[in-house]
Structure 1
């Protein structure tokens, strides 16, 4: 890192970076891949708006002593109270303001459904996306995000490198020949890491109810579910890299004998 930024210093830094064999460069994305990622970013924004509107309705209703259980059922009860003009617990002015929030909430829900349809169609439109969706824990969201975020998987030397880029490997603080491994690094693409973790948690919920002695069930006997979810997310990332590189289909692992 040198002082001052100008064209000459930038050109010198670029020339020096090109000569380094271990330097990593960002692969360019096609307009279609950028558009696919925009679908995911818009979906995140819509989900944040959905949570904001739901919390606002709950908070305003609580000011009048009207509360509801946590979850979708509780929100539906509040919406029925807002729609019921004969309920005297809400003043007319407050009901009018809440109806504005309800209209926005309905619009956001419709937009999220439309966005999910587009993401599902995008994942099913490619042969790679259909193969990736065969992996337990990788659904349409993760498959389309992987294709959009990683247009060229060959930039990673192996599947572990791609998992490390997503921040799904332990942070190292090793020295003097002694290994010290901590929590995950949380480096790289945060969205992919979140989606892989969410998919892994869904698989773990099913695995805890299963009687098959898979490696995941044996891992859950020794580790907490969230730790096992990180391990499964790491494994799915490596599987996805192998499938993207070799063009293979997913093969279900054999159950371990008890």
Structure 2
């Protein structure tokens, strides 16, 4: 950790789970509409924090689980959910990404009590990094609203190498994320939890831009069908329903896609 982010010794910090997803954030064109939509679909409550009125924190049972930022002058298709990965040093992580063919969209910028950057990997999949104090204890965050992230990309092995080198996966540093290959996908684990998958696929030729290399966010819910009905009633849409997987891909009023999974099936499949 460098001196850019002063944090208390008692606060959970990014270096404690470096390389693992530690936050998810949504860019939206209408903050009020997003709050109403996700309250109805996922039961979230809202508050304003240190980042001002244009960034709202969603919580479940008092535990912060996600952030929503109001962003103006964006193309409609740019509104999306983005996973943030914990890092001990944002500057070094950005440098490693650039050295390996990644691109930097924003940052690193200071957002007390930490620093953040928005990057894209070699195939254009967008992800964020966070250095500093975590919004919530990592274990509490994972339990309050289980979040799972999944990358569909051209070559899972190539992507895994990129992220391993950039984020320190499977390194010799104590506490790093473990990387395995299981059931034809790359599996990332942190503290024994499966926190991400990377799949290979024919994404380069996909006609739908949303199906090109991108990180997808999964939320565990008690009732998938109820989430679908709430989404449709509040200006969202159903992209695909997969009853066998107890899963649905939904789109919010801005077109940002996310997945909801039945809680029991979600835990089993991870």
TM-score, L = length of structure 1: 0.23
Name the structure with the higher strand share: 2
Higher relative contact order (CA 8 A, sep 6+): 2
TM-score, L = length of structure 2: 0.22
